[in-house]
């Protein structure tokens, strides 16, 4: 096992595309690090450079104590798992699993032992004699994982390994992956464009955009404390709501005004966001997570009321998404524009609701017992201690708390 360090790593492809731009990242020994970001942001390129499948244009990569810039992939002691399983179709599962070991001259007993161990771990024992064609997608992906495991590498590199599986299988494979990582403790770098996968799997998550690192932190801290509009909108589902707003201070304390609403801003929040003081009397961007809303009938009495008219309600069983328009245009910023483009490319397009009169659409996630109905007035409440504020020019979060520095052991 080993830590992996990327030091100012660049990749410029022939033709001039800068796919990875000055990437600094330290993946700790035994850590499960997820690289996430929209399609084309450079995730696979970064992973392939760690693997040695792609030359680096600048910077330094080390695995363990070795700088590997000039080391061939086979000498890096890593194992890769891809989206397409790349199994040998004419070989049984057992032969597929032991193939790498055989190449490296492992004895028959050793091969047998390791293959059995891996098969047990992955629930593949009863399939050892089958060929890949007689396996389900999920089983094939397990075999691909098994091949990586038997090699006992210093690190696993995985590029969207679950993206060919259906939604239900993805969830169970996610759980198996987490378990495997618990058991083996091997440093893992995992690429996905799916923020839910990133949040559920990562010990830490690194958000990339156009080849540049945006933020790297634990899932919870990314959610609670995003560094900019882009990360705020990318992490979390349904996505954070945004609006142009004005921060004011009167006799009753700080308030934030937007779209005809006027919410109190708790003193503790102002205190917790250094620099927010300088924004009184100025325009900024307000962000509210759907999960920081509740139906007022079910909310903590300290939360601020906000009456809206629901346009659509999505009943998910465990909760209800209330979608409503507010009397303000959608925020215009490069960060939110990029997010909208990414959403339109992906699954979210199915649920996209056309904008009415250029008004911003917001989502509130409320208790399943709420009586909210589409087209009706609903009294929502907001947990104002969890409001987010962004600089409308830079898109940076105001008062953002830096991630704790990690030790360079």
Ligand X SMILES: Nc1ncnc2c1ncn2[C@@H]1O[C@H](COP(=O)(O)OP(=O)(O)O)[C@@H](O)[C@H]1O
Residue closer to Mg ion, measured from CB, 41 or 288: 41
What is the token pair recorded at 210? 């156009």
Please give the residues from 25 up to 44 whose contact with Mg ion meets the rule CB under 5 A.
44
Asked if 110 contacts 117 with a C-beta cutoff of 8 angstroms, the reply is no
The interface mask with Mg ion, positions 43-72, x = CB under 5 A, is: -x----------------------------
Please give the residues from 36 up to 95 whose contact with ligand X meets the rule CB under 6 A.
37, 39-45
Residue closer to ligand X, measured from CB, 94 or 194: 194
Residue closer to Mg ion, measured from CB, 98 or 194: 194
- Pick one of Mg ion, ligand X, none as the site partner of residue 13 (Cβ within 5 to 8 A by kind): ligand X
Q: Does 192 bind Mg ion (CB under 5 A)?
A: no
Q: Write down the least CB distance from residue 211 to Mg ion, Å.
A: 12
Count the site residues for Mg ion by CB under 5 A.
1
Q: How much is the CA Rg of the chain, to the nearest whole Å?
A: 24
Residue closer to Mg ion, measured from CB, 44 or 241: 44
- Pick one of ligand X, Mg ion, none as the site partner of residue 377 (Cβ within 5 to 8 A by kind): none
What is the token pair recorded at 43? 């995730």
- Work out whether the CA dihedral 92, 96, 97, 99 comes out positive or negative: positive
Residue range at the interface with ligand X (CB under 6 A); choices 13-21, 173-181, 220-228, 324-332: 13-21
The residue from 8, 17, 352, 355 that contacts ligand X (CB under 6 A) is 17
Residue closer to Mg ion, measured from CB, 44 or 384: 44
d(CA 306, CA 78): 53
Report the interface residues with ligand X, using CB under 6 A.
13, 15, 17, 19, 37, 39-45
Report the interface residues with Mg ion, using CB under 5 A.
44
């Amino acid at each position: 096992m080993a830590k992996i360090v990327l030091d100012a790593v660049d990749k410029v492809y022939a033709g001039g595309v800068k796919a990875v731009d000055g990437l600094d990242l330290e993946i700790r020994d035994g850590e499960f690090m997820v690289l996430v970001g929209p399609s084309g942001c450079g995730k696979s390129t970064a992973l392939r450079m760690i693997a040695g499948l792609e030359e680096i244009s600048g910077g330094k990569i080390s695995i363990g104590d070795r700088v590997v810039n000039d080391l061939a992939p086979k000498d890096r002691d890593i194992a890769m798992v891809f989206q397409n399983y790349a199994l040998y179709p004419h070989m049984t599962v057992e032969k597929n699993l032991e193939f790498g070991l055989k190449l490296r001259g492992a004895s028959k007993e050793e091969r047998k032992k390791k293959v059995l161990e891996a098969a047990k771990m992955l629930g593949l024992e009863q399939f050892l004699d089958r060929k890949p064609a007689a396996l389900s997608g999920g089983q094939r992906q397990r075999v691909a994982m098994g091949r990586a495991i038997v090699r006992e590498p210093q690190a696993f590199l995985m590029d969207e390994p679950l993206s060919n599986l259906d939604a239900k299988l993805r969830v169970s494979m996610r759980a198996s992956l987490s378990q495997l990582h618990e058991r083996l403790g091997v440093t893992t770098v995992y690429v996905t464009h799916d923020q839910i996968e990133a949040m559920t799997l990562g010990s830490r998550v690194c958000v990339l955009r156009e080849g540049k690192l945006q933020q790297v932190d634990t899932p919870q801290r990314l959610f609670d404390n995003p560094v900019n509009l882009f990360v705020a909108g990318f992490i979390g589902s349904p996505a954070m709501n945004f609006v142009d707003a004005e921060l004011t201070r009167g006799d009753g304390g700080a308030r934030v005004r937007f779209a005809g609403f006027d919410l109190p801003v708790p003193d503790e929040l102002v205190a917790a966001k250094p620099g927010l003081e300088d924004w009184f009397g100025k325009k900024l961007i307000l962000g509210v997570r759907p999960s920081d809303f509740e139906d007022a009938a079910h909310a903590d009495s300290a939360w601020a009321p906000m009456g809206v008219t629901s346009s659509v309600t999505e009943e998910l069983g465990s909760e209800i998404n209330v979608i409503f328009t507010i009397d303000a245009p959608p925020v215009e910023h490069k960060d939110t524009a990029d997010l909208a483009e990414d959403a339109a490319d992906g699954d979210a397009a199915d649920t996209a609701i056309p904008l009415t009169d250029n008004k911003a659409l917001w989502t509130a996630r409320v208790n399943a017992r709420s009586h909210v109905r589409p087209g009706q007035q609903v009294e929502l409440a907001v947990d104002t201690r969890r409001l987010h504020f962004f600089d409308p020019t830079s898109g940076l979060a105001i008062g953002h708390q830096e991630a704790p520095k990690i030790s360079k052991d």
